[in-house]
Amino acid sequence: MEQIPDRTAIFQTCGSSEHQNNWIDTQDALKKRLVTKDDFTWRLPSSIPERDGEGGGGERKEVLKYVGGVDISFSKEDPSIACGTLVVLDLQSFNVVYADFSVARLHIPYIPGFLAFREAPILWELLKKMKKEAPLVYPQLLMVDGNGLLHPRGFGLACHLGVLADIPTIGIGKNLHHVEGLTQLKVRELLEDGANKEFVDLIGDSGCTLGVAMRATLGALKPIFVSIGHRISLSTAVKVVKLTCKYRVPEPIRQADMRSRDYLRRRAFIQSNS
């Protein structure tokens, strides 16, 4: 008898776990290209000007000015309709100097640990388009809503998108993804240990620091979860996040979030009236 099972049967039996194995392989492969230290030519606005070490040119490093933010919102009528949004903030003026949107139907579901396979494609397209059409304000650094290193396999959306686009990225989680024994309760205890702390290292069972839980503003009881994406160190990432936090959520992400929602609402209204 033929022993080759029916493909449909495999699919039904294994469900999405078959895809998840491929996804894990993809994450492991891309992770080999991940850079976890500072790897960029700019310096922080508040820092003392440095000389470029290489070549004896003696030129000053440029100051970090253009910080990007990406987010995706979804239609309430049809949850498969997504609006990917890329925003660039001028750090000096705190103004949005670029905003672009891409509406598409997503076919891949949200599965914890595999967010990038759902969201990275549309965001990467926005970045590639901008690099070609508006290179002058192309972000020197990108903030991503979703985790970076703080991830079951150390390769969340921020890492994934950073490696694909080869751009420095920081991951911002608004909720804790439970990984390596970290729980909201533990983090809460750490933050309230003694006096209320501003931030605390997130150290997993492995002993590695996966990120930082930080209260971005004075009144914020609920922390945000900062982890590195690509080509940046955690200490630099935390400094940048502090620079961009007017409210609990860093401004680039907050702007992307608000404008993304707004774009979908307006678009739904226009469609229903024409």
Partner DNA sequence: GCGACAG
Partner DNA sequence: ATCTTGTCGC
Residue recorded with tokens 């030129």: 59
State which of residues 147, 169, 244, 255 lies at the interface with DNA (CB under 7 A).
147
Residue 112: count other Cβ atoms within 10 Å of its Cβ. Answer: 10
To the nearest whole angstrom, how small is the minimum distance from the Cβ of residue 260 to DNA? Answer: 7
For 23, residues 6+ apart whose C-beta sits below 8 A from its C-beta are 114, 117
From candidates 13, 22, 95, 175, binder to DNA by CB under 7 A = 175
Cβ of residue 206: shortest distance to DNA, in angstroms?
17
What is the pattern of x (binds DNA, CB under 7 A) and - over residues 101-120?
---------x-xxxxx----
156 binds DNA, rule: CB under 7 A: yes
Please give the Cα distance from 161 to 153 (Å, whole number). 15
**Residue ranges with strand state E in 134-267:** 141-145, 169-173, 199-203, 209-214, 224-230
In order of 38, 112, 163, 264, the CA distances from 78 in angstroms are 41, 21, 31, 11
Is residue 254 within the footprint of DNA (CB under 7 A)? Answer: no
Residue placing its CB nearer to DNA in the complex, 2 or 77? 77
Q: Is 217 exposed, middle or buried (0-12, 13-18, 19+ CB in 10 A)?
A: middle
Shortest distance, position 210 Cβ to DNA, whole Å: 12
How far CA 243 is from CA of 94, 172, 213, 224, 248, in Å, comes to 10, 14, 16, 14, 12
124 binds DNA (CB under 7 A): no
Closest to DNA by CB, 113 or 139: 113
Nearer to DNA, 88 or 115 (CB): 115
The one segment of 11-19, 52-60, 239-247, 256-264 that binds DNA by CB under 7 A: 256-264
DSSP string for residues in 82-120: EEEEEEEEETTTTEEEEEEEEEEE--SPP-TT-HHHHHH
Among 85, 169, 255, 260, binds DNA (CB under 7 A): 260
- Closest CB to DNA among residues 197, 265: 265
Q: What's the chain's length in residues?
A: 274
Sort 206 into a burial class: Cβ within 10 Å, 0-12 / 13-18 / 19+. exposed
Q: Which SS3 state, helix, strand or coil, does residue 19 take?
A: helix
- Residue 110 CA, chain-centre distance (Å), reads 15
Which one of the spans 44-52, 144-152, 197-205, 235-243 is the region binding DNA (CB under 7 A)?
A: 144-152
Q: How far is the CB of 190 from DNA (least distance, A)?
A: 16
- Of the pair 74, 138, the CB lying nearest DNA is at 74
What's the closest the beta carbon of residue 146 comes to DNA, in angstroms? 4
User: 27 vs 140, which CB is nearer to DNA?
Assistant: 27
Binding site for DNA (CB under 7 A): 71-74, 76, 79, 110, 112-116, 145-147, 151, 156-158, 171-178, 184, 257, 260-261
